[in-house]
Every structure is written in structure tokens, then in C-alpha cells.
């Protein structure tokens, strides 16, 4: 007898996703304002990507660990909700500290705390949808998360602009963050904590034994019980050698030191393989084993995610500098023109998130009509066109049109890869695989922070607008690779039902 998860109501899906409103409030404030804060505190433009390294590194380290432990957690608050709550508490504290940082190094350190705490909350939210919803409702669940991400980001990104219009000071003395940014972070902390508390208090979770009894708990080709075998240490040796050679080359050739991050990626994986091989049990061995045995669909999506998030990170880091320089003729972060441009970028980021909220309503229909893969291709190409068009539009008001395409891509990136992936994941490893899947979000970000500053200074002649165009090309490539992803089981079953 089939034991199918019951279909949840709109209100139940709303409650389980509402916390994402607060989490994305924090991420949006970070994305739209951290480069501005760093430059205000004295960072050079070419150094900004290196200061952003906290974001991808904390995701790389935190998400698989939290996924591993949340799969094995059961408390009075359930399986995932304890992580929602504690992540929100520390994120709120970091949002209160960030705009009051007296020195650049304190702001950089606070970014590490903020991003780590946001990741503690976010990773279990992704697994939460897989836990609670049957495969046929998962695209709706992830689209609902995308809707709240859009709404939260609209308000958060536009807050400094709105506060400036309300008369709050938008400039400050040297080394001081304007009050518009400071008050936006205070408000964001309150929203984050309240939204996550709503989900924690108004949802329930299936106990592990109940979850294991549903018919989607063990997709074909996955382990029913136990951990995947740990790969041999010998397989990690080529990665070690590649990483060592890369580090030596950067050092001897006196290249940009940020390229050491790029060389460190294969080195770190080689070390991880050696550590995992020392024992067949424990967290590191389990994560490396699951990484090595990941489903085929995850491997295919890894390429899509790489090009998607490389493009996004290029946009987040350099849009403020590009728009201020190209459309407002300003490069001095203390000038009124630069801060006017920075505020307009906040509006543009709010706009693309607003378009993403609208797109989240349309994406489930598009997915039913065209399939998940083609829908993702179309949305990514819209984003590519939007990002490239920023270089050719001269009136900053018309950049809102560019953000429409970016919004569709953003909504799709936040939902469809997870819908494509979740059908292939076993229920007892939903958390750790969602955390491992985050590798393919943060690795392109690490590649971005290690290479974009070098490219800006040595290839693009200090013109940040050219970096945005590279980001657009990256989104276009991601769309092409989306067509290579295997069709999900739920979609294949629906097609068989139509053709039978």
C-alpha cells in the first residue's frame, strides 16, 4: 500500500515558508550594503571581493555540517526548527553590530558571524520543504520560499532609499556609516527574528520514523539505510598535488594573492579526502562519502549552479560601483553622487526582488506547462539579457527594465534547482544533501572573489561594468547546461500518465 504524504493547504505552506522572509531580509541588507560599508570604512574597490570571502566560505563550511546534524536531530521543537531559531538569534545580533563597526576589520569579522548565522537558518529551511511536502507540491513550496525571498528583499533593499526620502541622513563623516543604512539594519534584525519565530511556532514536523515510511523516502538508486562508502585517500592525492602546484605558482609568479583562494579549493578537497579516509565513521567521513556518492541529478545541477551563482556574485559585488561610476560619474564613496547612486542600486535590487516575487507566482504554471528544465533555461536567459543590458542603458531609471529579467532569473535560481533535486534525495539524508548542494553555490562565489578583483585591475581596466557583462554571459551558460539535467521522477510520471 502506498503511503503518500498528505497534501498541505495554502496556509500551511505559507506558514512553513514565512521564515524565509526574515532570512532573506538579512541577506538582502548584506548584499546591497556590505560593499558600501566596506568602502566607507576605507576599503579599496579591488580589495572588496576579498572582504566578501566570508559569505561563500561560511556557506561552504556551515551548511553541510548543519544538514548532517539536522538529519540526526529530534527535540521538542522538531528536526529543523531548532536551527531556524538559533540562527535567527545570532543573525539579529550581527545585524545590530554591522553598521556600528568602527573599523574595517570589525565589519569584516561581523560579516563572518552574520553569514554563518544566516546559513544556519537557511539550510534547514530547504530541507524542511523536502520533509513536509510530497514531490508534486515541492515546486510550489520552493516557489513560495522564492516569493517571500522576493518580498523581503524588496523592502530590505529599498530601505536606505526610503529612509533618505523620509529625511534620514544619507551621508556621514569619514569612516562613518550613514544613518539610512544603520536604521535599515536595525529594522531588518527585528523582521528577521519575528518572521522565523512565526514559522517555528506555527508549524509541525514529521517524526523521523513517520518520515521514513512515506513512499518518497527512498528514491530509486539511493541508499535505504546507512552511510555511503568513504572514498579512498588515494583519490584525493591528485587534488592535493593540483592545489600545491597552484599555490606555488601564485606565490612564485607574485600574482594577485586572492588567486590563492582558487588554488586552495582543490587543496582543501584533497585534505578532506585524507581526513575522511582515516576513519569510516563520523561527520567528515559521512559528508565526504555522500559527496562522492551524490545522485546523477545533483552532479548535473552542479554545473548549472556554478555559472548561475558566479553571475549573481559578480552582480552583488560590482553593481554599486558600476552604476555609481557609469550612471552618476562618481567613484568617491564619500561623495553625494556616489551615495545617491548607491541608494539607487538599493532600489534596483529591491526591483529585481519584486519582479522575483511576481515570477514566483508564475513559475509553478511555467513548470507545469514547459517542464522544470526549459522553464529554468528561459528564466536564466532573461537574467542574462537584463544584466548585460545595464552596460548599454544610460538613463538609470531605465535600469528598472533590466532588473525585470534579473528578477525572473533570481526567482528561478531560488526554486527550480531544488525542485529538480529533491525528487532524487532520500528522506533520511535530505538535510546533508541540501547542505552538500550548497557547495555548488559557494564554490563559484569563491572563484568569483578570487578572480574578479584580478580581472578588474588587469583585464578590464578598472571598469566594474565589464564584470557585470561577464556575469550576464555566465547566466546564459547556466541556462544551456540546465537542458542537460535529467528529467525529475515526478515529471516523468506525469508525462507517462498523459501519454498512456
Contact partners, residue 496, CB within 8 Å, separation at least 6:
none
Contact partners, residue 484, CB within 8 Å, separation at least 6:
300, 303
| Phi, psi dihedral angles at 78 (to 5 degrees) | 105, -150
Query: What is the mean pLDDT of the segment spanning 325-345?
Result: 83
Rounded Cα distance, 275 and 282, in Å: 11
Name the percent of the chain lying above pLDDT 90.
27
Rounded Cα distance, 326 and 254, in Å: 32
- Grid cell, residue 123, equals 539550510
What pLDDT was estimated at residue 408? 94
Tell me how many degrees the CA angle 480-383-130 measures, rounded to the nearest 5: 75
For residue range 387-406, what is the model confidence (pLDDT) as tens digits? Answer: 999 989 989 899 999 999 99
Nearest to 477 by CA among 375, 384, 340: 384
pLDDT-based confidence at 234, cuts 50/70/90? confident
For residue range 23-35, what is the model confidence (pLDDT) as tens digits? Answer: 988 988 887 788 7
Cell 536567459 belongs to residue: 381
| Phi, psi dihedral angles at 224 (to 5 degrees) | -75, -40
pLDDT-based confidence at 220, cuts 50/70/90? low
| Phi, psi dihedral angles at 75 (to 5 degrees) | -130, -175
Rounded Cα distance, 475 and 469, in Å: 10
Find out whether 411 and 356 touch, Cβ atoms under 8 Å. yes
Query: What is the mean pLDDT of the segment spanning 431-459?
Result: 83
pLDDT at 134 over 80: yes
Instruction: Report pTM.
Output: 0.75
Cell 556590505 belongs to residue: 34
With residue 426 as reference, give the H or E element that holds it.
Answer: none
- Say how many residues make up the chain: 500
What pLDDT was estimated at residue 280? 61
Measure Cα distances from 312 to 79, 259, 308, 327, 416 in Å: 31, 20, 6, 21, 16
What pLDDT was estimated at residue 492? 55
78 bridge partner residues: 75
The number of beta carbons lying within 10 Å of the beta carbon of residue 498 is 7
Amino acid at each position: 500500500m502506498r503511503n503518500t504524504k498528505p497534501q498541505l493547504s495554502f496556509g500551511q505552506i505559507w506558514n512553513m515558508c514565512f521564515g524565509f522572509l526574515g532570512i532573506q531580509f538579512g541577506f538582502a541588507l548584506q548584499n546591497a550594503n556590505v560593499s558600501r560599508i566596506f568602502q566607507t570604512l576605507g576599503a579599496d574597490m579591488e580589495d572588496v571581493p576579498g572582504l566578501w570571502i566570508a559569505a561563500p566560505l561560511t556557506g561552504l563550511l556551515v551548511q553541510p555540517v548543519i544538514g548532517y546534524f539536522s538529519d540526526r536531530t529530534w527535540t521538542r521543537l522538531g528536526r529543523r526548527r531548532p536551527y531556524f531559531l538559533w540562527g535567527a538569534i545570532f543573525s539579529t545580533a550581527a545585524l545590530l553590530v554591522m553598521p556600528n563597526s568602527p573599523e574595517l576589520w570589525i565589519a569584516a569579522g561581523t560579516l563572518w558571524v552574520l553569514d554563518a548565522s544566516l546559513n544556519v537558518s537557511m539550510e534547514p529551511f530547504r530541507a524542511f520543504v523536502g520533509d513536509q511536502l510530497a514531490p508534486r507540491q515541492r515546486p510550489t513550496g520552493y516557489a513560495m520560499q522564492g516569493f517571500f525571498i522576493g518580498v523581503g528583499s524588496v523592502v530590505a533593499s529599498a530601505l536606505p532609499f526610503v529612509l533618505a526620502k523620509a529625511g534620514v541622513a544619507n551621508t556621514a563623516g569619514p569612516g562613518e556609516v550613514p544613518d539610512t543604512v544603520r536604521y535599515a539594519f536595525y529594522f531588518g534584525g527585528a523582521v528577521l527574528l519575528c518572521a522565523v519565530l512565526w514559522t517555528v511556532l506555527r508549524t509541525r514536523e514529521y517524526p523521523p520514523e513517520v518520515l521514513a515510511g512515506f513512499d518518497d523516502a527512498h528514491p530509486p538508486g539511493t541508499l535505504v539505510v546507512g552511510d555511503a562508502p568513504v572514498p579512498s585517500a588515494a583519490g584525493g592525492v591528485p587534488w592535493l598535488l593540483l592545489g600545491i602546484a597552484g599555490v606555488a605558482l601564485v606565490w612564485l609568479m607574485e600574482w594577485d594573492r586572492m588567486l590563492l583562494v582558487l588554488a586552495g579549493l582543490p587543496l582543501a578537497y584533497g585534505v578532506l579526502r585524507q581526513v575522511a579516509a582515516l576513519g569510516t565513521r563520523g561527520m567528515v567521513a559521512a559528508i565526504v562519502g555522500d559527496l562522492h556518492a551524490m545522485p546523477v541529478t545533483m552532479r548535473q545541477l552542479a554545473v548549472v549552479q556554478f555559472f548561475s551563482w558566479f553571475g549573481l556574485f559578480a552582480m552583488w559585488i560590482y553593481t554599486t560601483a558600476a552604476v555609481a561610476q557609469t550612471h552618476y560619474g562618481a567613484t568617491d564613496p564619500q561623495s553625494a553622487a556616489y551615495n545617491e547612486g548607491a541608494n539607487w542600486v538599493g532600489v534596483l535590487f529591491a526591483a529585481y526582488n519584486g519582479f522575483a516575487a511576481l515570477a514566483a507566482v508564475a513559475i509553478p504554471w511555467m513548470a507545469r506547462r514547459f517542464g522544470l528544465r526549459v522553464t529554468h533555461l528561459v528564466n536564466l536567459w532573461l537574467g542574462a539579457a537584463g544584466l548585460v543590458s545595464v552596460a548599454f542603458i544610460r538613463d538609470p531609471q531605465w535600469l528598472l527594465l533590466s532588473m525585470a529579467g534579473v528578477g525572473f532569473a533570481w526567482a528561478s535560481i531560488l526554486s527550480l534547482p531544488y525542485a529538480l533535486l529533491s525528487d532524487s534525495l532520500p528522506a533520511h539524508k535530505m538535510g546533508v544533501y541540501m547542505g552538500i548542494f550548497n557547495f555548488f553555490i559557494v564554490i563559484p562565489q569563491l572563484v568569483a572573489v578570487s578572480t574578479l578583483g584580478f580581472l578588474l585591475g588587469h583585464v578590464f581596466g578598472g571598469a566594474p561594468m565589464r564584470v557585470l557583462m561577464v556575469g550576464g554571459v555566465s547566466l546564459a551558460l547556466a541556462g544551456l547546461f540546465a537542458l542537460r539535467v535529467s528529467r525529475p521522477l515526478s515529471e516523468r510520471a506525469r508525462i507517462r500518465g498523459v501519454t498512456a
